[in-house]
Structures are given as C-alpha cells and as structure tokens.
Structure 1
Amino acid sequence: MSYLLPHLRTGWAVDQAILNEEDRVVVVRFGHDYDPVCMQMDEALSKIADKVKNFCVVYLVDITEVPDFNTMYELYDPCTVMTFFRNKHIMIDLGTGNNNKINWALTNTQELIDLIETVYRGARKGRGLVVSPKDYSTKYRY
C-alpha cells in the first residue's frame, strides 16, 4: 500500500515537508516499503490518510535511500513512525518508555486516527509531549 502515499526521496525533501507544514501534523514513516511491518503500517496509514487530511499529512521515507536521519532519530527498527508539528518533533507517551517514536505496526485504523488527533490537539496547545489515548505497555499491542 506504500504506493498510495507520497514518498520523500531526499533529506532536503524531508526537511521541507516538516518545515513548510503550518497547520497540520506531519506523520513520517521511516523504513522500507518491502518490510512486512512497514507494509502493515502503510496499509493502515493509507486507509486513514483521506480521513485525517484536514489535520494531518503522511509521508514515507526509505531509510536506505535517505540515511540522513538514521543517527539523529535513532532509526534502528524496521519501521518507525514519528510526528511533527510546526517544525517540532511531538513525542507521544504510549506507555512503552520510548516517547520519541512508534516502532511497531499500528493496524487498528481507529486507534491510529485517535492517536494522530491527540497529537494534533496537544501540539496546537503547545505541548511537546502528548499522552496516547491507549496504553501500549502490554506485551500484545493490538
């Protein structure tokens, strides 16, 4: 499903996508289109992209093609999703201990919409850390 979402092919394009979006949350999925975890995440993101287009924009970045952010964002997992608002990284307390990113496939589209909406509402209020509507600290995240 990654072909349904826009890809950013250079570090400059990633920077511009994050910098130039004034009113919406920028969701960036870092990973590989062929990775099974990324495929699941891409499918969920493509299903919700039209529903959240008023307050969110979704981009995909191949971490081999664009390695510029691998060290900066510690992109060691097969699939990593990060959120930004007005050129600021918005952290999410998911209950997992890692507030910087989502590093598994969130396949429930309604949970994903709720999460992005929570990020949007918190970021508009100036919060750099928002609390997820669901606690993902259990072994089974789904």
Structure 2
Amino acid sequence: MEYLLPTLREKREVDSLIRDTLDKVLVLRFGRSSDAVCLQLDDILYKSARDVSRFATVALVDVDSEEIQVYVKYFDITFIPSTVFFFNAHHMKMDSGSADHTKWVGTYMRKQDFIDVVEAIYRGAMKGKLIVSCPLPPERIPKFQLLYKDL
C-alpha cells in the first residue's frame, strides 16, 4: 500500500498538525514539489511512511505558500528540502555535527537512514529529551555550508 503524504499550504493546517499529533514524531518536510532534491526526499518519505507509521506522522509543507512564510522564517529555511521534527508539540532537535540542530537539511541517502533518524528522535522524545544525537555515520549526513544572516 502506497502512503500519500498530505501537502500543507496553510498556517492553520501546520499549527493543528503540530498541536494534534500526540505520542508520535511529526516529520514536516519543507520544500517544493518542483525541486529535484525534494522529489528524491519525498520518494524516501513515501516509501518509509508505512514503516514509521506506529511512531511517526509525515507531512509535506509547501515553502512557496504565502501563509507558510511565518514557519520558513521561524525555522530559517534557506536550503530546501529542510525537515523539521516535533513530538507532542515540542520542536525536536538533532545534533548531526553541524552548527544547526533545528532541522535536517537535504535528503537521506537511503530509506533506512530516514527510519533510523525518526526512531532516534522518537526514543529520545519518549525519555523527555528535546535534542538527540544523529544515529547516522558522518559520511551519510549531507554537508552544507550554512550561512547565518546578521552575524
């Protein structure tokens, strides 16, 4: 069975999903369906959705939607795709060796990498942690030169 992932274009849709997703990791992919790397990531997310459905909910967020810009600014989404994680309405962070722990930037090299990341976030969240260590080896974590504005 193929899982279809909802695409959110309105702030209230994102707000209610963050608020109403309880005892599961909420995975929000910020990107656009016309971007090649987003499509590669979306394919991994689609193929993984059933595998993680016991402990995670996955949704796509359209960064070009006017209403979503408040989230794009808040999470400083400058690279797409960027994936943000929540658990019981708390923003979950991950230390993957970069200066930015707030989101995953880029795609995953394979389906199992995404599953491992979501499992690590879920296990950490169940222990009350708001930041977890990335379970992937450094060579499977995308590297980006992060430029910070106003520094």
After TM superposition, the score normalised by the length of structure 1 is 0.91
CA RMSD of aligned residues (A): 1.8
Contact 1:95/1:135, CA 8 A, preserved across alignment: no
1:74 and 2:76 are equivalent in the alignment: yes
Match of 1:110 among 106, 109, 112: 112
Q: Note the C-alpha offset of 1:54.
A: 0.5
> Does the 8 Å CA contact 1:82/1:102 hold for their aligned counterparts?
yes
Larger deviation, residues 49-58 vs 93-102: 93-102
SS at match of 1:119: helix
- Structure with greater proportional helix content: 2
Give runs of aligned pairs for residues 1-142 of structure 1, distance below 5 A. Answer: 4-65=4-65, 66-136=68-138, 138=139, 141=142
Instruction: After TM superposition, give the deviation of residue 9 of structure 1 in Å.
Output: 2.0
8 Å CA contact retained: 1:27, 1:84: yes
For residue 51 of structure 2, give the secondary structure of its aligned residue in structure 1: coil
Q: Is the 8 A contact 1:22 1:85 kept in 2?
A: yes
TM superposition shift of 1:139: 8.9
Greater shift in the superposed pair: 89-98 or 19-28: 89-98
Post-superposition CA distance 1:55-99 (Å, at most 9, x none): 000000101112221111101112100100011000001112221
**TM-score (norm: length of structure 2):** 0.86
**1:140, CA displacement in angstroms?**
7.1
1:11-53 C-alpha deviation (Å, 9 max, x unpaired): 0110100111111100000010111111111010001000110
Change (3 A) 1:9 1:140: closer
Q: Which runs of 5+ in 1 are unaligned?
A: none
User: Measured at CA, do residues 140 and 59 of structure 1 come closer, stay the same or move farther in structure 2, by a change above 3 Å?
Assistant: closer
Indicate the SS of the match to 2:100: coil
SS at match of 2:104: coil
Is the 8 Å Cα contact of residues 105 and 142 (structure 2) preserved in structure 1?
A: no
Percent identity of equivalent pairs: 34
Q: Unpaired segments of 5 or more residues in structure 2?
A: 144-151
Q: What is the number of equivalent residue pairs in this alignment? A: 139
- The one-letter code matched in structure 2 to 1:64 is D
